């Protein structure tokens, strides 16, 4: 028993050294994935000029006062590049969105920022300190990391006390109210629904008095009303707190509602960066037309007439979908016929 205790203590001390943790992490990621990792995929979408501008801003170190600076961050698993020379800076009090499809590299980036894994190359700093120094941040992980036998209220109260808040109970009640969990605050986490756990995780992240709060898909799995409430809460934080917020999402709507700037991630690379308006001008090259019918009997006639009037429009409502809202997509400047 004594020997086990001494060995554990020695291991604990050894793991405090960054170089040791880094070697173990890199060794494990290479070993686990060397045999079954797919080859790196070439980027298949053009990279917009704003990405190069952001790179220059980061490289020329014009980012001294930024909350987060990511400089040529790369993460490979065996031969697979999950994050490819990521370069961006998030200003203080900015709400920044990382938008990307499944497997784009969002969570891998967050794992590096939170010290759960090490970058293969490049660096990231939070408030000027390297992330490998385990800088304190508010973090809502993609998969809720909550203790199942505690209630939501207990979870938040313990964290609030660890953060050293004077009136921690009041703070916790406020957070519970903001995330809409007052009614379920005394339920054990193991009995909470997926959406309820998500709300507690968002609360945990927002409770942290840190200069950076990162949220990995904060609204995944929550119902539309709760989603709106979380959006309102994040907007309130954006306006009133001193923290910068970085969130990931699959939804342009979400990023547009919350973020002052958005980076689009594709196969580990940033392919565009800017405001939602910048991105819409870049990629929004389709118009959508929605017509609402009075009754289903008009459907065939309307579909026929639209096809005659805008021949190149694409009818997007499935034949089996008997909705009264019919949707078409068309390119800008599509010629209309005179029929
Ligand atoms: N430990 C690992 N070993 C091997 N490959 C990994 C590992 N972690 C992530 N990957 C790969 O890296 C790529 C990026 O994964 P990541 O989880 O960062 O994507 P994501 O953008 O968060 O996707 P999602 O929207 O589905 O959460 C994926 O192809 C994934 O399979
Ligand atoms: Mg993810």
50-54, 247-251, 276-280: the lowest-pLDDT one: 276-280
Tell me what percent of the residues of the chain surpass a pLDDT of 70.
87
3-state SS, residue 181: coil
Structure tokens at 228: 């709106």
CA 217/CA 232 separation, integer angstroms? 15
CB of 141 within 6 A of ligand 1: the answer is no
Residue at 184 is within a domain? no
pTM over 0.85? The answer is no
Please check whether residue 180 is in contact with residue 229, taking contact to mean a CB–CB distance below 8 angstroms: yes
Residue at 336 is within a domain? no
- What is the per-residue pLDDT for 37? 44
Sheet with strand 287-292: strands edge to edge: 287-292, 325-330, 314-315
pLDDT exceeds 50 at position 61: yes
Residue at 248 is within a domain? no
* Number of neighbouring beta carbons within 10 Å of residue 91: 15
List, as one string, the DSSP characters of 77-93: ETTEEEEEEEEEEE-TT
- Going from the C-alpha of 298 to that of each of 159, 228, 293, 326, the distances in angstroms are 59, 35, 7, 11
Task: Report the C-alpha dihedral over residues 125, 129, 133, 136, rounded to 10 degrees.
Answer: -90
| Residues 6 or more apart in contact with residue 79 via CB below 8 angstroms | 34, 37, 39, 40
Residue at 232 is within a domain? no
Tell me the mean pLDDT in the region 264-289.
86
How far is ligand 1, taken at its centre, from the CA of residue 99, in Å?
14
- What is the per-residue pLDDT for 22? 61
pLDDT exceeds 70 at position 105: yes
Residue at 54 is within a domain? no
Average pLDDT, the chain: 85
Tell me the mean pLDDT in the region 278-296.
83
- What is the per-residue pLDDT for 16? 64
CB of 294 within 6 A of ligand 1: the answer is no
Q: Which atom of ligand 1 is nearest to the CA of 110?
A: 18
- What is the per-residue pLDDT for 44? 60
Segment 300-319, tens digit of pLDDT? 999 999 999 988 888 988 88
pLDDT exceeds 80 at position 46: no
Q: Which ligand is nearest to the CA of 81?
A: 1
pLDDT exceeds 50 at position 40: no
- What is the per-residue pLDDT for 42? 47
Please check whether residue 123 is in contact with residue 83, taking contact to mean a CB–CB distance below 8 angstroms: no
Structure tokens at 260: 């002052």
- Ligand 2 (ion): residues with CB under 5 Å are 106-107, 142
Q: Which atom of ligand 1 is nearest to the CA of 265?
A: 21
- What is the per-residue pLDDT for 24? 60
CA 316/CA 89 separation, integer angstroms? 39
- Going from the C-alpha of 165 to that of each of 170, 213, 238, the distances in angstroms are 10, 18, 21
- What is the per-residue pLDDT for 195? 87
CB of 160 within 6 A of ligand 1: the answer is no
CA 229/CA 225 separation, integer angstroms? 6
Domain tally, the chain: 1
Residue at 50 is within a domain? no
Residue at 174 is within a domain? no
- What is the per-residue pLDDT for 36? 45
CA 76/CA 85 separation, integer angstroms? 11
pLDDT exceeds 80 at position 336: no
Tell me the mean pLDDT in the region 7-26.
66
Q: Which ligand is nearest to the CA of 100?
A: 1
- What is the per-residue pLDDT for 60? 84
- What is the per-residue pLDDT for 41? 44
Which domain range does residue 305 map to? 287-330
pLDDT bucket at 125, cuts 50 / 70 / 90: very high
Residue at 326 is within a domain? yes
């Amino acid at each position: 028993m004594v020997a086990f205790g001494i060995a554990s203590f020695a291991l604990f001390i050894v793991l405090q050294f960054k170089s040791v943790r880094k070697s173990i992490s890199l060794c494990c990621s290479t070993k686990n994935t060397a045999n079954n990792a797919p080859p790196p995929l070439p980027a298949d979408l053009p990279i917009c000029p704003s990405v190069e501008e952001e790179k220059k801003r980061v490289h020329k170190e014009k980012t001294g006062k930024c909350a987060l600076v990511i400089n040529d961050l790369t993460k490979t698993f065996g031969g697979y590049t999950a994050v490819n020379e990521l370069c961006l800076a998030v200003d203080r009090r900015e709400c920044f969105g990382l938008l990307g499809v499944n497997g784009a590299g969002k969570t891998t980036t967050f794992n590096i920022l939170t010290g759960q894994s090490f970058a293969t190359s490049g660096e990231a700093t939070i408030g000027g300190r390297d992330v490998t120094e385990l800088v304190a941040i508010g973090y809502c992980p993609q998969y809720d990391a909550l203790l199942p036998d505690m209630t939501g209220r207990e979870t938040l109260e313990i964290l609030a006390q660890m953060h050293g808040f004077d009136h921690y109970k009041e703070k916790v009640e406020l957070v519970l109210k903001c995330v809409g969990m007052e009614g379920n605050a005394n339920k054990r986490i193991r009995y909470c629904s997926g959406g309820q756990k998500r709300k507690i995780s968002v609360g945990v992240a927002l409770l942290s008095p840190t200069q950076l709060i990162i949220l990995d898909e904060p609204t995944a799995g929550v119902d539309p009303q709760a989603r709106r409430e979380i959006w309102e809460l994040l907007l309130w934080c954006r306006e009133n707190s001193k923290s910068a917020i970085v969130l990931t999402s699959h939804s342009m709507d979400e990023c547009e509602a919350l973020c002052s700037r958005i980076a689009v991630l594709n196969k580990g690379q940033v392919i565009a960066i800017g405001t939602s308006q910048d991105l819409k001008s870049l990629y929004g090259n389709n118009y959508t037309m929605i017509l609402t019918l009075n009754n289903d009997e008009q459907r065939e006639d309307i579909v026929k007439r639209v096809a005659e009037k805008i021949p190149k429009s694409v009818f997007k409502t499935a034949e089996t979908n008997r909705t009264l809202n019919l949707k078409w997509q068309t390119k800008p400047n599509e010629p209309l016929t005179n029929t």
